[in-house]
Amino acid sequence: MSGRREDRSIYQPELATVRDRKMLNETELYLRLSMDSGVLEYKPGQFVEVSVAGIGEAPISISSSPTADDGFELVIRRVGNVTNAIHKLQTGDKVGIRGPYGKGLYPVDEVKGKDLIFICGGIGLVPQRSFIKYVLANRGEYGQVTIFFGTKTVAQRLFASELSEWDKLEGVEVKETVDKPEEGWGGEVGVITTLIDKIDKDIRDAMIFACGPPVMYKFVLLALEEKKVKAKNIYLNLERKMKCGVGKCGHCQMNNYYVCIDGPVFCYSKLKDIPEAI
């Protein structure tokens, strides 16, 4: 399967098989899938529509790197009927997949040679992980990589062992923070902007990628403004706004943009004058 075949309806899912599953915390399920029809070709920032027969479908960001050769990975939060049904899937079960969708992607080529800063709030790490893993697989083409990850509690952390391994790599720094610390926690305490405030170097030329709950963006952007980062150097992932995936339902419309078609990754310079975007 090379992307989406042109002879298929945009509304018709194709079957995929669950190859691996595990709970990352109490609400987030990790799935590794493979398409029954071949290889799913995608780029960092794209998403798929995941459907369960008789229940419905939901847009889910792809969390793996396109460099992976063993299927593709998703992380699904249990929040409703569709995601509850997905959480019941076991290894070997079938699921419907439409996509991949999204044309506004991470600027993989444009930021080569630049220092990169990823700001991930909670489940916002999931879509960012696709680009992070791509960068790490092509390490020599990018500058310093800094990853900020914040959650409300220690129990809500995602991919903890991966974060630890990334932090050991040359030219990569991982900083974590939690709102509510527990005994034994050795990381930072506070909202994710506290990590930005503690940056002691000039980041005006760095490329910034942020993804997290909507309330996070306002404060992250203010913190980056304090650091003199230009809007053209900031990219926001708005994947939480999507629904149908193909611009038909209007759920994700922002002025002249549709998140599912024109995004889900946007340069902030395109969004700063659209009140409903942030």
Residue 76 pLDDT greater than 70, yes or no: yes
> In angstroms, rounded to a whole number, what is the distance separating the alpha carbons of residues 241 and 189?
29
Do 132 and 86 lie in a common domain? no
Both structure tokens of 97: 């997949």
For the chain, the average pLDDT equals: 94
125 pLDDT above the threshold of 70: yes
Q: How far apart, in whole angstroms, are the C-alpha atoms of residue 246 and residue 49?
A: 10
Say if residue 250 is in the same domain as residue 166: yes
Listed range (4-13, 138-147, 229-238) with the worst mean pLDDT: 4-13
Pairing between β-strand 116-121 and β-strand 94-101 as defined by DSSP bridges? unpaired
**End position of a domain, from candidates 71, 101, 131:** 101
CATH number, domain of 198, equals 3.40.50.80
- Is the pLDDT at 6 greater than 60, yes or no? no
> Do 163 and 126 sit in the same domain of this protein?
yes
Where in the sequence is the domain holding 19, given as residue range(s)?
Answer: 14-101
Point out the domain boundary residue: 101, 136, 159. Answer: 101
Bin 38: left if φ > 0, else alpha if -120 < ψ < 50, else beta: left
CATH number at 31 reads 2.40.30.10
What integer pLDDT is reported at residue 277 of this predicted model? 82
List pLDDT tens digits, range 221-230.
999 999 999 9
Q: How many domains is the chain partitioned into structurally? A: 2
Percent of the chain with pLDDT over 90: 84
Domain match, 135 and 265 both:
yes
The predicted model gives 100-112 an average pLDDT of 96
Instruction: Please indicate, yes or no, whether residues 259 and 161 belong to a single structural domain of this protein.
Output: yes
The per-residue pLDDT for 8 is: 62
94 with 121, same domain: the answer is no
Final residue belonging to a domain, choices 101, 131, 151: 101
Do 182 and 68 belong together in one domain? no
Residue-wise pLDDT for 17-70, tens only, equals 999 999 999 999 999 999 999 999 999 999 999 999 999 999 999 999 999 988
Q: Tell me if 219 is assigned to some domain.
A: yes
Is residue 164 domain-shared with residue 49, that is, in the same domain? no
Which residues contact residue 110 at a Cβ distance below 8 angstroms, ignoring those fewer than 6 apart?
none
Q: Is residue 58 part of a domain?
A: yes
Residue 241 has pLDDT above 80, yes or no: no
The alpha carbon torsion through 228, 236, 268, 177 (nearest 10 deg) reads: -20
Query: H or E stretch including 260?
Result: helix 259-262
